[in-house]
C-alpha cells in the first residue's frame, strides 16, 4: 500500500459550470478542480474534456492548461444542436492509467424550446432492482445484511415494497425502500438455499427477482459507525474451511493504510474490532477482510464525516442593483490565511438550477464511487441520523475499488502507459530523410500565431533526428516555419513531424453514453421554469454576434485614440503577453525612468501588492504569496539579468497580475515582462529552403463578456442569463478580499450567486446565495 500511496495516487475532478441548463448556440463556461485524496494534485499540467452528443458521437475535444490544480475552459454548443443534453467526459493524462469508471462524467441539459411541446408527457417506466450483500457475497451459515437499489431505465430512483421468500415460497421478511430507491434487510442465510424477492414499484408494476446465489461456507464482515469509531464484526460459517479461522483486516483511506489487525476465530464463529476514525479526514474508508493466506474474501466501505472539509468565505453585498442594467458590487472575503482558488457565477435567479452535486459532494463522495448517485449533495445537508443512515445505504449499494488487492498481494503495480504531465505544451518532433545528422545540427523554428506574433527557437537535433522544447504555451493554432541551420537544402529533402505533447482526441469518435436522467421529460414544475426561461433564448443566437459587433465598434473607437501604451503593446507584446490582466509602463515617455538604477527600483511602490525587497545586494520578489516570473523580451530570465539591464535600453514594462499562463507552472505569482528598445519588428518572409506546418495548441479561449453600462447605458436588448463569470478568484493572507462588479440585464429581478473553490489545505467551499 505504501508503494501505491507514494507512486500511484489517483486524481479526481469536479467541474463548476456557470449554470445548469443551456440553449443551443450558447457558451458553456467551466472551471475544473483536480485533487488526489484530500489534497490538490500536482500530477498534471494539462486538462482535457471530450464533448459528446446524447447518442455518443464526439462533438469536440478541448484542452486547457492547469494553474494551481485547476483549469478554465469553454465549449460553444452548436447552433443547430437538437439533443436534450451534451455529455462531458473530463480527465487528465494520468487518470487514463486507471479504471475509466473514475473519469469525470456529466450530462448537461440543453433546452430545445421549439420542440418542448413535442416531447412525450410521460414514458413507460422500466424498473430494475439490484441486491448487494454486505461484504460482497452471500455466505451460507451466517446472518447477513442485504441492501438493495431500485432504479428506472434512466438510473433515477424508484420506490419499491416487497417480500423475501425461500425456495419453498415461505415468507422470510418484508422490505421497502426508505430513501431514493434504497433499503436493506437482514436474515439468516442457509447454505445451498435460493431466495427470491416479489416486489411492486411505485408505478404499480409487479416483479420477481432472484437474490445473488448463496455461496459455500465462508466468512463476511459487517460495519457500523459509533462515537468516532468504526465497529467491524466478522462472522464465519461453523463448517468453514481451515483458512477461515484466522483473519487479517486492513482499513485504508485515500490509498493510505490507517489500521490493520489479525483476529483468531478458531474457537468462535464471530469476532469484532474497533477502528478509531475521529482523527481521520472526511472521506471514504475501505475495510477489507482477508483469510489467513491474505486472499481477500470480503470488503465494505463506510463514509467518515468529521466535518473538517470546509472553509467559509464571506459574501458582502456592497451595492445591489436589481433594476434594468443596474450596477452590482460584491466583496468575497476569506479570513483563512491559506491561498484560496475559487470560481463565481452570477445568473438570473429564476433559471432552472441543479444543485444536486457540488464540489463538496463530488470531491468527497461521487468522485470516489462507481456508478450514478442520485442527489449526492443531500448527504452533506446536515448531521441528522437519518442523513447518515441514508448515506450508509449509498456505501452498501455502490462500488469502490481504485486498485486490485490480488495484484497488491502479488507485488504487481499498475501498468503506467500515460506519464504524469510535468510540462505544459511541447514543441517536439522528428526528422525523416536525414541520416546521421552532423554534430550540433540545429533546426531553426519560427512560431507564428494568428495575431502574427512570432517566437524564435533554435533546437538541437539528436542522433536519431528528434528535437524537443518544453514549456511552450499558446492557444488555437500556430504556423511553424522551419529551416536547418547551415544547410537550407536539407529542408527540401527532409520531412519534419511536429507534435504538441497533448493527449489527442479519442481515436473513436463514439462513446457509449449511459442512460441519462436528463432523457426523462421535465417535471411539471421544471417545465414551467423552462418555459419562463425562454425570454433568455429569444436573443440567444444573436448575442455572440451582437457582442462581436459591439466589440468591433469599441476597437474602432479606441483605434482613433490609441495611447502610447497601446502602441507599445502592439509593437512589443505577442501571444499570451499581448493579453491578460496587466499594468503597463511606458518607460520611453516616463521622465522618471532615467533616474532609476534598474527596473526593480523603477517599479518599487508602483504596483499594489507587489513586494520588491533589496537587501545585501540581492533583490527578492513576492506577490500574493508567490514569486513573480520575470521575462526579458518574452524570454525567461532571472532577477540578476533584469537588474543588469540599463533603463536606457528599456522601452516597455508589463506587470501581470496572478495568474499568468505564459509562465512555467501557471504563473501563480504573476509576472514581470521587460522589453528592450528596437527600431522595428522582425520581419520574416518564407522563401526557398523554408518549410512550414500548422500545429494546434490549447483550445482557444475568449474572455467572458461583461458590459459596462456606466460608459454606454443604451444599446441592444440585454437578455444575458449569466451576468458574471470569473473562473479565478484568488485570495491569500496578504490579499484576502476579492472585488467583483457587474451589471444586471434588462429582465432579471433576482440573482443567484454560486461560489465554489478549494484552498491550499484541500478544504472546500460551496456558497449559493439568492439576491432579491
Instruction: Give the model confidence (pLDDT) of 677-709 as tens digits.
Output: 865 433 344 445 577 888 999 998 888 988 999
* C-alpha cell at position 160: 419499491
Please tell me which residue, 198 or 667, carries the higher pLDDT value: 198
* C-alpha cell at position 500: 504538441
The pLDDT of residue 543 is above 70: no
Distance CA 307, CA 679 (A): 62
Nearest-CA neighbor of 742 among 730, 753, 731, 755? 753
Q: Mapped to the 3 state alphabet, what secondary structure does 134-183 carry?
A: CCCCEECCEEEEEEEEEECCCCCECCEEEEEEECCCCEEEEEECCECCEE
Q: Taking the chain, what is the end-to-end CA distance rounded to the nearest angstrom?
A: 52
The pLDDT of residue 718 is above 80: yes
Distances in Å between the alpha carbon of 612 and those of 457, 597, 606, 622? Answer: 32, 14, 10, 7
3-state DSSP assignment of residue 647: helix
The pLDDT of residue 357 is 96
Would strands 142-151 and 128-133 be described as parallel, antiparallel, or unpaired?
antiparallel
Distance CA 766, CA 112 (A): 30
* C-alpha cell at position 99: 479504471
Whether the bond into 659 is cis, omega within 30 of 0:
yes
- For residue 682, count other CB atoms closer than 10 A to its CB: 8
What mean pLDDT, rounded, does the chain reach? 86
Distance CA 335, CA 765 (A): 13
Q: Mapped to the 3 state alphabet, what secondary structure does 243-262 carry?
A: HHCEEEEEEEECCEEEEEEE
Q: How confident is the model at residue 394 (pLDDT cuts 50, 70, 90)?
A: very high
Name residues whose C-beta falls within 8 Å of residue 672's C-beta, 6 or more positions apart in sequence: 599, 603, 621, 628, 629, 630, 631, 642, 653, 654, 655, 656
Q: In what order do the strands lie in the sheet with 182-189?
A: 128-133, 142-151, 182-189
* C-alpha cell at position 275: 477502528
Please tell me which residue, 649 or 341, carries the higher pLDDT value: 341
The pLDDT of residue 587 is 86
- Percent of the chain surpassing pLDDT 70: 87
How far does Cα 487 stand from its chain's mean position? 47
Please tell me which residue, 88 or 241, carries the higher pLDDT value: 88
pTM confidence score: 0.82
| Most confident range, picked from 105-119, 264-278, 619-633, 640-654 | 264-278
The pLDDT of residue 122 is 53
Distance CA 311, CA 293 (A): 45
Average pLDDT of span 192-199:
95
Residue tagged 467491524 (cell numbers): 232
Given a contact cutoff of 8 angstroms between Cβ atoms, the answer to whether 328 and 744 are in contact is yes
Nearest-CA neighbor of 348 among 30, 709, 720? 720
HSE-up (13 A, CA, CB side) for residue 628: 28
* C-alpha cell at position 606: 508602483
Given a contact cutoff of 8 angstroms between Cβ atoms, the answer to whether 157 and 180 are in contact is yes
Distance CA 372, CA 364 (A): 15
Q: How confident is the model at residue 401 (pLDDT cuts 50, 70, 90)?
A: low
Distance CA 674, CA 680 (A): 17
Average pLDDT of span 216-237:
92
How far does Cα 144 stand from its chain's mean position? 39
The pLDDT of residue 190 is 93
pLDDT tens readout for residues 273-291: 999 999 999 999 999 999 9
The pLDDT of residue 528 is 67
pLDDT tens readout for residues 627-671: 899 999 888 889 988 888 888 888 899 999 888 877 776 677 889
Amino acid at each position: 500500500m505504501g508503494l501505491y500511496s507514494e507512486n500511484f495516487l489517483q486524481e479526481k475532478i469536479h467541474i463548476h459550470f456557470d449554470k445548469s441548463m443551456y440553449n443551443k448556440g450558447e457558451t458553456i463556461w467551466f472551471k475544473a478542480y483536480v485533487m488526489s485524496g484530500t489534497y490538490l494534485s500536482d500530477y498534471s499540467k494539462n486538462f482535457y474534456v471530450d464533448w459528446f452528443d446524447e447518442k455518443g458521437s464526439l462533438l469536440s475535444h478541448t484542452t486547457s492548461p492547469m494553474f494551481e490544480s485547476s483549469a478554465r475552459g469553454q465549449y460553444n454548443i452548436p447552433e443547430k444542436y437538437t439533443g436534450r443534453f451534451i455529455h462531458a467526459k473530463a480527465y487528465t493524462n494520468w487518470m487514463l492509467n486507471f479504471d475509466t469508471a473514475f473519469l469525470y462524467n456529466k450530462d448537461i441539459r440543453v433546452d430545445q424550446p421549439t420542440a418542448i411541446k413535442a416531447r412525450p408527457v410521460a414514458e413507460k417506466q422500466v424498473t430494475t432492482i439490484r441486491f448487494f450483500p454486505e461484504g460482497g457475497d452471500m455466505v451460507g451459515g451466517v446472518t447477513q445484511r442485504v441492501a438493495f437499489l431500485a432504479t428506472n431505465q434512466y438510473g433515477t430512483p424508484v420506490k419499491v415494497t416487497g417480500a423475501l421468500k425461500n425456495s419453498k415460497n415461505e415468507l422470510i421478511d418484508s422490505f421497502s425502500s426508505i430513501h431514493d430507491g434504497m433499503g436493506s434487510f437482514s436474515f439468516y442465510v442457509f447454505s445451498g438455499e435460493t431466495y427470491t424477492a416479489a416486489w411492486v414499484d411505485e408505478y404499480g408494476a409487479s416483479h420477481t427477482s432472484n437474490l445473488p446465489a448463496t455461496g459455500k461456507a465462508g466468512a463476511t464482515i459487517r460495519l457500523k459507525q459509533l462515537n468516532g469509531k468504526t465497529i467491524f464484526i466478522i462472522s464465519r460459517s461453523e463448517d468453514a474451511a481451515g483458512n477461515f479461522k484466522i483473519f487479517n483486516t486492513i482499513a485504508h483511506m485515500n490509498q493510505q493504510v490507517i489500521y490493520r489487525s489479525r483476529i483468531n476465530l478458531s474457537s468462535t464463529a464471530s469476532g469484532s474490532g474497533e477502528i478509531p476514525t475521529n482523527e481521520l479526514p472526511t472521506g471514504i474508508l475501505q475495510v477489507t477482510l482477508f483469510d489467513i493466506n491474505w486472499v481477500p474474501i470480503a470488503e465494505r466501505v463506510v463514509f467518515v464525516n468529521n466535518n473538517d472539509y470546509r472553509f467559509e468565505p464571506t459574501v458582502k453585498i456592497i451595492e445591489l442593483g436589481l433594476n434594468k442594467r443596474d450596477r452590482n458590487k460584491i466583496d468575497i472575503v476569506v479570513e483563512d490565511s491559506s491561498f484560496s482558488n475559487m470560481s463565481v457565477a452570477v445568473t438570473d435567479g429564476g433559471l432552472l438550477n441543479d444543485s444536486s452535486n457540488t464540489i463538496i459532494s463530488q470531491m468527497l463522495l461521487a468522485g470516489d464511487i462507481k456508478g450514478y448517485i442520485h442527489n449526492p449533495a443531500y448527504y452533506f445537508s446536515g448531521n441528522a441520523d437519518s442523513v447518515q443512515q441514508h448515506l450508509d445505504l449509498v456505501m452498501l449499494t455502490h462500488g469502490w475499488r481504485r486498485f486490485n488487492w490480488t495484484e497488491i498481494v502479488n507485488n504487481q503495480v499498475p501498468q503506467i502507459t500515460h506519464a504524469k504531465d510535468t510540462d505544459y505544451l511541447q514543441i517536439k518532433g522528428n526528422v525523416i530523410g536525414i541520416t546521421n545528422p552532423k554534430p550540433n545540427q540545429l533546426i531553426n523554428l519560427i512560431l507564428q500565431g494568428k495575431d502574427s506574433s512570432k517566437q524564435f527557437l533554435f533546437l538541437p537535433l539528436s542522433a536519431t533526428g528528434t528535437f524537443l522544447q518544453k514549456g511552450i504555451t499558446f492557444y488555437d493554432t500556430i504556423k511553424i516555419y522551419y529551416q536547418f541551420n547551415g544547410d537550407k537544402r536539407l529542408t527540401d529533402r527532409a520531412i519534419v513531424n511536429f507534435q504538441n505533447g497533448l493527449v489527442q482526441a479519442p481515436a473513436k469518435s463514439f462513446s457509449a453514453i449511459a442512460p441519462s436522467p436528463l432523457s426523462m421529460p421535465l417535471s411539471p414544475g421544471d417545465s414551467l421554469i423552462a418555459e419562463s426561461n425562454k425570454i433568455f433564448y429569444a436573443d440567444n443566437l444573436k448575442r455572440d454576434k451582437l457582442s462581436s459587433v459591439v466589440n468591433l465598434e469599441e476597437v474602432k473607437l479606441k483605434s482613433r485614440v490609441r495611447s502610447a501604451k497601446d502602441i507599445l503593446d502592439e509593437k512589443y507584446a505577442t501571444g499570451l503577453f499581448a493579453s491578460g490582466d496587466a499594468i503597463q509602463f511606458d518607460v520611453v515617455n516616463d521622465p522618471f525612468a532615467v533616474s532609476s538604477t534598474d527596473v526593480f527600483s523603477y517599479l518599487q511602490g508602483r504596483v499594489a501588492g507587489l513586494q520588491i525587497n533589496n537587501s545585501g545586494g540581492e533583490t527578492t520578489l513576492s506577490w500574493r504569496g508567490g514569486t513573480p516570473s520575470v521575462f526579458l523580451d518574452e524570454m525567461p530570465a532571472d532577477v540578476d539579468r533584469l537588474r543588469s539591464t540599463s533603463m536606457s535600453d528599456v522601452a516597455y514594462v508589463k506587470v501581470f497580475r496572478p495568474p499568468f499562463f505564459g509562465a512555467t507552472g501557471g504563473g501563480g505569482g504573476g509576472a514581470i515582462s521587460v522589453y528592450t528598445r528596437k527600431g522595428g519588428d522582425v520581419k520574416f518572409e518564407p522563401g526557398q529552403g523554408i518549410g512550414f506546418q500548422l500545429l494546434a495548441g490549447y483550445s482557444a479561449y475568449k474572455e467572458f463578456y461583461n458590459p459596462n453600462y456606466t460608459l454606454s447605458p443604451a444599446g441592444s436588448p440585454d437578455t444575458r442569463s449569466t451576468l458574471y463569470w470569473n473562473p479565478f478568484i484568488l485570495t491569500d493572507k496578504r490579499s484576502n478580499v476579492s472585488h467583483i462588479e457587474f451589471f444586471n440585464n434588462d429582465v432579471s429581478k433576482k440573482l443567484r450567486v454560486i461560489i465554489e473553490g478549494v484552498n491550499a489545505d484541500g478544504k472546500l467551499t460551496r456558497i449559493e446565495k439568492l439576491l432579491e
